[in-house]
Amino acid sequence: MENIIQDMIWAAWRHHDCEMAAQAYKLMFEFARTANCPSNWREIGSKMAAEFQGNEWVEENCKLYEF
């Protein structure tokens, strides 16, 4: 799942697709707040925040500052 979201973020960035960035955020947010979700899925948002640190477009459009 982590690779899929990472691919979504890269594609959104390459194509400046704000809608796809928003969808990636929604997935990460749902995983983070769902108690019975696998623990490695709950942490995807914070992993993406660390990976894309410094990429302002991604940080802003995927709302990575929330993780």
What is the reported pLDDT for 19? 98
Cα distances (angstroms) measured from residue 42 to each of 12, 13, 63: 21, 23, 16
Q: How confident is the model at residue 61 (pLDDT cuts 50, 70, 90)?
A: very high
What's the total number of domains in the chain? 1
Quick: pLDDT tens for 7-56. Answer: 999 999 999 999 999 999 999 999 999 999 998 999 999 999 999 999 99
Range of the domain at 7: 2-66
pTM exceeds 0.75 for this model:
yes
The Cα–Cα gap between 37 and 7 comes to 21
